[in-house]
Amino acid sequence: MKICCIGAGYVGGPTMAMIAKKCPDHQITVVDINQARIDAWNSSELPVYEPGLDEIVQSCRGRNLFFSTDVDQAIREAKIIFVSVNTPTKSYGVGAGRAADLRYLELCARRIAETANGDKIVVEKSTLPVRTAESLKRVLHANSKGHHFEILSNPEFLAEGTAVTDLENPDRVLIGGDDTPGGHAAVAALSEIYASWVPRERILTTNLWSSELTKLVSNALLAQRISSVNSISALCEATGADIDEVTNAAGKDSRIGPRFLKASVGFGGSCFQKDILNLVYLCGHYGLDAVADYWESVVRINDWQKDRFVHRMIQTMFNTVAGKRIALLGFAFKKDTNDTRESAAIRVTTALIAEQAEVVIYDPKVTEAEMLRDLNNAPIRVARDAYEALNGAHALAILTEWDEFRSLDYRRIYESMKKPAFIFDGRNILDHAALRALGFEVHAIGKTSAKTL
């Protein structure tokens, strides 16, 4: 069978690569309107960094996995069409700052309807507001030229940095479809593809709306855990409790569980904030203002946490960072990815620059061009490694939990920094006692700061 995916991004690319690997009998073509992105997928420098992805793409590309900008041909040939285009938060008009911008999706639907030369199964992979499938259906059917389209919702739960393992061994695959014979047949066809490697009991089928809502709710619940912990981190700093001790002990309760309880400078990524704001918009639309307000507070706490981190830096460094060299280690929104969307580092850097700090950034995977784009060309310096960034610096702030930051030569770093040498660990990944023994003044999230004076 021929499968096509529109949108060769962080979701579309890795997901299709995994299907190609697991289903050698199917031919998969990933298309995108962005020629540079497709060229990158066809080169040795993939546009998405994910551990294990290179190997899969290399073994399948040219065999049953193809990347192309010929959207129409891929639509014509495919029986199943995944739609994985971006659905950013709307930046204009009604719902600006909250609602999802569905224009790319609608354009895709119109293109599919115009181009299709037979019946198709159209699968929503993009995260969407509930009931988007209904709009898709109407656009497709109104322009259908007699062909039949079945719409499925098949949200992706992969996390960046672990995309390959998440895809290979998912907790669940969710497929929503219409409760009609055509809907059942389409759900069965898609289930069959996943069943090539996912145990049947992990393939859940629901109605369309439940599937769409589950995606938003899953992300909202995960983000809510982080904001809950981050809110308590402030209380820990004020009272002398230690957030890592608190979450470790609380997480031992099997009803709570240990994951997603790590305090941080704030969550980022393309999904959490966007999906919560989407949920907020949806609740508002249905007049559920108290529910909307409840979920919006998860985003408010997250912004507050990022601002709080910067305020603590400034306050600690004698209430001024003007003219001081501050080295930021990490710019990606989490480790093992080159993605910076909604990264806490963007807000932190912007605030430090507004305070006239001299910011030097090092990230193992994020390019200087990307940083400048994210920061609207703000005056930063980008270092080639952590040591270069820290040479002569007044302070070091960890913004991303890259493993390599744990094992730097901190004695060498201490010697190269101005004194007192401040460390602000925004991810709680360093050995604070050892650093204090070297002479650093360490401040960490959710921990009181023992001064070494």
- Name residues contacting ligand UDX, limited to 41-100 (CB under 6 A): 84-87
Active site residue 271: yes
Q: Is 434 helix (H, G, I), strand (E, B) or coil?
A: helix
In the list 3, 4, 5, 11, the residue contacting ligand UDX (rule: CB under 6 A) is 11
Q: Which residue, among 355, 205, 340, has the nearest Cα to 269 in the 3D structure?
A: 340
Nearer to ligand UDX, 273 or 324 (CB): 273
Q: Dump the DSSP string for 343-403.
A: -HHHHHHHHHHHTT-EEEEE-SS--HHHHHHHTTT-S-EE-SSHHHHHTT-SEEEE-S--G
Query: Least Å distance between CB 30 and ligand UDX?
Result: 9
> From the list 2, 61, 79, 107, which residue makes contact with ligand UDX (rule: CB under 6 A)?
107
User: What are the strands, taking DSSP E only, across 16-79?
Assistant: 27-31, 65-68
Q: Which residues, other chains included, contact 430 with Cβ-Cβ below 8 Å and sequence gap of 6+?
A: 398, 405, 406, 423, 442, 444
Out of 197, 260, 304, 387, name the contact with ligand UDX by CB under 6 A. Answer: 260
Residues 349-368 that bind ligand UDX (CB under 6 A): none
Question: CB of 7: closest distance to ligand UDX in angstroms?
Answer: 3
Site for ligand UDX in 205-234 (CB under 6 A): 219, 222, 226
Report yes or no: 176 and 206 within 8 Å, Cβ to Cβ. Answer: yes
Give min distance, CB of 146 to ligand UDX, in A. 25
**21 binds ligand UDX per the rule CB under 6 A:** no
Number of other residues whose CB lies within 10 A of the CB of residue 161: 20
The residue within the footprint of ligand UDX, chosen from 157, 197, 304, 414 (CB under 6 A), is: 157
User: Of 413, 416, 419, 418, nearest to 434 (Cα)?
Assistant: 413
Q: Which is nearer to ligand UDX, 186 or 261 (CB)?
A: 261
Out of 4, 20, 21, 37, which residue is the one contacting ligand UDX (CB under 6 A)?
Answer: 37
Beta carbon of residue 288, minimum distance to ligand UDX (angstroms, whole number): 23
Q: Tell me: does residue 304 bind ligand UDX (CB under 6 A).
A: no
Query: How far is the C-alpha of 148 from the C-alpha of 100, rounded, in Å?
Result: 27
Q: What are the φ and ψ backbone dihedral angles of 274, each rounded to 5 degrees?
A: -60, -45
Nearer to ligand UDX, 264 or 441 (CB): 264
Kindly tell me which residue out of 135, 144, 159, 297 binds ligand UDX, with binding defined by CB under 6 A.
Answer: 159
In the bound state with ligand UDX, the residue whose beta carbon lies nearer, of 60 and 261, is 261
Nearer to ligand UDX, 191 or 230 (CB): 230
List the strands of the sheet with 173-177, edge to edge. 65-68, 27-31, 2-6, 80-83, 120-124, 149-153, 173-177, 203-207
- 17 touches 57 (CB < 8 A): yes
Residue holding tokens 């895809």?
167
Q: How many residues bind ligand UDX (CB under 6 A)?
A: 41
Question: Which stretches of 206-269 are DSSP H helices?
Answer: 208-239, 243-251
Q: What are the Cα distances from residue 159, in Å, to 88, 214, 272, 308, 383?
A: 17, 16, 11, 26, 28
- Among positions 170, 177, 269, 364, the unique one binding ligand UDX when judged by CB under 6 A: 269
Q: How far is the CB of 362 from ligand UDX (least distance, A)?
A: 18
Answer yes or no whether residue 194 interacts with ligand UDX by CB under 6 A. no
Q: Name the residue nearer to ligand UDX (CB basis): 231 or 452.
A: 231
With binding defined as CB under 6 A, does residue 6 bind ligand UDX?
Answer: yes
Window of 8-16, 115-123, 381-389, 432-440 that interacts with ligand UDX by CB under 6 A:
8-16
Q: Could you tell me which of 355, 405, 395 has the C-alpha nearest to residue 379?
A: 355
Contacting residue, 333, 362, 405, 410, with ligand UDX by CB under 6 A: 333
Q: Is 258 left (phi over 0), alpha (psi -120 to 50) or beta?
A: alpha
The residues that are catalytic are 271
- Binding residues (CB under 6 A) for ligand UDX: these are 6-12, 32-34, 37, 84-87, 104, 107-108, 125-127, 156-160, 219, 222, 226, 260-262, 264, 267-272, 333-334
